[in-house]
Amino acid sequence: VSNAGVGMAGPLECQSLAAMQSLMDTNFFGLVRLVKEVLPDMKRRRGGHIVVISSIMGLQGIVFNDIYAASKFAVEGFCESLVVQALRFNVAISLVEPGPVMTEFEAKVYEEAERADYSRTDPETADIFTNLYLRNSKDVFASLGQTPEDIAEHTLRVIEAARPPFRHQTNAAYTPMAALKHADPSGTLMTDAFYKLVFKYDTVLRLSLR
């Protein structure tokens, strides 16, 4: 089970390349290093199961989570490319894709975001992040967040499955979000829906979450 991960949220201009590289080294290359270690022996034994804790943000990017989403997209692409070869050796690969989870990990990310210096971005972007994104994120976690125990139960079901799924989403509330992307390959439907949700109907969003 690959579960190592770090988070990052905020305007792109305010994040250093060193911090981005460090995040990718943990979230993506950490997985790659693990798989390189365990896969050869699994292939020799003709059996094994690699379970990767991904994220719904590996399927759909979320505003102000550019680098974190990129790392999870990389995880998804890596596993999707590898799974067919692995199956030839009777090795299963499963991606567990949670939405928000109420842990110290998430709390730390948002505490750091609230204390960060936003002088390197324009005032409008800083205002959108602090007064729209951060405020809405707290409501999202309070309303839709899962517990670590819930994610553990989902992961256990994946591990014990007779035919392990390649992808397993843990939060049904995010199924429509992922479906938007597949409904319109041009991306217009998804982009328009998220733009309106963030900038036009944010009051309705907050009320519905509460």
Q: Which residues are tagged catalytic?
A: 68
- Is the Cβ–Cβ distance between 55 and 72 less than 8 Å? yes
| Dihedral (CA of 19, 20, 21, 24) sign | positive
> Measured between alpha carbons, how far is 104 from 117 in angstroms, rounded to an integer?
22
Angle formed by the axes of helices 188-199 and 202-209, nearest 10°: 80
Residue recorded with tokens 């976690």: 141
The SS3 call for residue 100 is coil
- To the nearest 10 degrees (0 to 180), the angle between helices 66-88 and 17-27 is 30
